[in-house]
Amino acid sequence: MEDWWSGFYEELEMLKRSDITTEEKLVGIIRYIFKVYETNLNQLSIYVTEVSRGFVYHTDTKGKDKFQKLFSLCKEITLEGQQKGFLRNDIQANYLAYIFLGSIDAFLSVIILGNEKLNESRQKRFTDGIRSVFLRGAIQIRTGKRNDS
């Protein structure tokens, strides 16, 4: 699991420092996860089944510290997006980070726990779905009014 954490931290640090847009940074996070899925499925399976959902891992100080660092790095990316006017600022950056990472975790759970194959078109659909719902919300807008029916 140390390889998982160090690789994820390195990727987030690299994305955070890059000159690409906030949206490209967020998509980069999703693509990194899919790359790990393709190259080291066991590592990602352990993360989803044992770490992400493991009660013991969340109560251990070392485990909490690892999650805090992950959320902190993602929060810095969302905060930058807010400061640049790309992401809405009426929601705290840390909540945006939790929502974003949680949506990735939900998709990972579906493919890993369902033992599903992840081909290129599914990766694109998952990436587009996460990006679209996170960045644009889930509400359907029609002619400027909410559709609550």
State the CATH number of the domain containing residue 112: 1.10.357.10
Write down the pLDDT at residue 51. Answer: 64
Q: For residue 149, what pLDDT band results from cuts at 50, 70 and 90? A: very low
HEC states along 59-122?
HCHHHHHHHHHHHHHHHHHHHHHHHCCCCCCCCCHHHHHHHHHHHHHHHHHHHHHCCCCCCHHH
DSSP state of 142: E
**pLDDT one-digit tens code per residue, 79-124:** 999 999 999 888 999 999 989 988 888 888 888 888 778 888 888 9
- Which position has the higher pLDDT, 5 or 52? 5
Question: Rounded to 5 degrees, what are φ and ψ at 142?
Answer: -130, 125
**pLDDT one-digit tens code per residue, 8-42:** 889 999 999 999 999 999 999 999 988 888 888 77
**Residue-range definition of the domain harbouring residue 18:** 2-146
pTM of the entire structure? Answer: 0.81
Name which of 103, 127, 116 is nearest 31 in CA terms.
127
> Total domain count for the chain?
1
CB neighbours of 130 closer than 8 A, spacing ≥ 6? 30, 100, 103, 104, 107
